[in-house]
Amino acid sequence: MIDDLLRCASVLGAGVLAFVGRCVRMDSPCTNCSSGVKKLSVSKIEQDPVRSITIVLASVSFALSLSASAHAKPPLPKHMVLGPVRVFYTVEGSSAVPRADTNRNSISDHVEDVAKQVWAAHQLFCGALEFPDPFQSERYPGLTCIEVRIWDRNEIGGGNGVAFEGSQRARTIPEGKPKDRAIVMSVGKHVDARKNVTPAHEFFHMIQYGTTYFKNRWYLEGMARWSEHGLGRDGLGQTKYPPNGRWPQSPQQLRLLANMTYDAEFVLWNPIASRFDRKGELPRSRLTIELRSLRYSDGTPVLRDHLLNGASLMRDVLLELGKFDDIAFKDLKYTEWSEENQKSAKNDPYIYQAVMDVLRRRSPPVGRFNARPKSR
């Protein structure tokens, strides 16, 4: 047994200390950090095995604490609640939100505006437009809230925001319950919800995650970009493929599409939305008074222009994708929906067939597209 411990100590000691500072000089102090930790040679382990194993275990503890501190984010001690939306933030340090408080309720206007936008996105898409609601998804049993965490953009990779696909135990707050569960998004503190619909974009990802396992970016980001127009003021936005053009698109166009991300909005999602729904008027009778009257801190409406082309079409596409991921899983012989499988290029034809099948049923004439090469 002692021999096994010696071998483990030797390997573990080398691995841990390489992690700490890549200190690879035998028996010399670490030159990349101030710890002065030394790398143990096998000979020294053999001379004093108990002491050496103790040192290695201490090094493991040091390395883990070093890793944790290097990636630790500043605390977000404050929060506000708006329906199922819980926003966590701070007024100090690098992630501090602006302190302006127009209504003098001791909550930053910036925070309230983010909360209002996420709340409105949930009401619009999962209420008025009847998109699949994450709160009713089989993927999120027991879900009770949406957590929004506002950070400095450097804490979230430099972008505007990110939504996470899994659910987790909710942060403890006085208004909550011990068994609350949350889906989580992070938003950069630089995002002004009055001018930027990133919070709504990230919420739409939560709808997508709760409906299908596919995460190919031309679908995931392209459709989420289309969804932004629901709370925006610019109507549908650009189209860079004719709505009445060839459907399915040419093989060359499909190859280009597969390599797109956000810009897929202009060559697929906006064109099919325009083809199916020219007017794009939101169903006013289904918009609640609370949603129609909701205002940001500066008095501007959260729901800007009451326009969104193709909402029912996109809802049906998402529902179809929820069926097609089962087909792809079986056809492609996946054993799990790993991150690699969720983003695999092998999914592309299945996603595209789902889109074309719905489009053909809702807005003919549209030709057939088959994801299975052998049956084309």
pLDDT band at 5 (very low <50, low <70, confident <90, very high): very low
**pLDDT value for 71:** 54
Task: State the Cα–Cα distance between residues 43 and 46, nearest whole angstrom.
Answer: 5
Q: What DSSP state is assigned to residue 148?
A: E
More confident residue, 69 or 207: 207
Among 48-62, 66-80, 158-172, the range scoring the smallest mean pLDDT is 48-62
**pLDDT value for 356:** 98
DSSP state string for 259-308: T-STTHIIIIIHHHHHHH-SS-B--GGGS-HHHHH-B-TTS-BSS-SSB-
pLDDT > 90? residue 213: yes
| Cα-Cα-Cα-Cα dihedral sign, residues 351, 356, 361, 363 | positive
Among 6-20, 48-62, 92-106, the range scoring the smallest mean pLDDT is 6-20
Q: What share of the chain in percent tops pLDDT 90?
A: 77
pLDDT band at 74 (very low <50, low <70, confident <90, very high): confident
pLDDT > 60? residue 86: yes
pLDDT per residue as tens digits for the range 223-278:
999 999 999 987 888 999 999 999 999 999 999 999 999 999 999 999 999 999 99
One-letter amino acid for residue 67 of the chain:
S
pLDDT per residue as tens digits for the range 128-181:
999 999 999 999 999 999 999 999 999 999 999 999 999 999 999 999 999 999
Class in CATH terms, 74-211: alpha beta
DSSP state string for 166-219: EEEEPPP-TTS-TT-EEEEEEEETT--TTT--HHHHHHHHHHHHHH-----HHH
pLDDT band at 65 (very low <50, low <70, confident <90, very high): very low
- Helix (H), strand (E) at residue 145: strand 143-151
pLDDT > 90? residue 208: yes
Task: Name the residue ranges covered by the structural domains of the chain.
Answer: 2-71, 74-211, 212-376
CA distances 191 to 97, 117, 153, 187, 344, Å, are 10, 12, 9, 7, 31
The pTM (predicted TM-score) of the whole model is 0.82
Place of tokens 């060839």: 246
CA distances 293 to 116, 151, 218, 296, 304, Å, are 11, 29, 34, 10, 11
| Cα-Cα-Cα-Cα dihedral sign, residues 173, 175, 180, 181 | negative
CA distances 137 to 142, 207, 212, 227, 301, Å, are 10, 9, 10, 19, 30
Interacting residues of 58 by C-beta distance below 8 A, sequence separation 6+ = none
Residues linked to residue 181 through DSSP beta bridges, in sequence order? 143, 169
**pLDDT value for 210:** 98
Burial category of 312 from C-beta neighbours within 10 Å (exposed 0-12, middle 13-18, buried 19 and up):
middle
Paired tokens of 376: 């084309």
Q: Is residue 117 a contact partner of residue 231, using CB atoms and an 8 Å limit?
A: yes
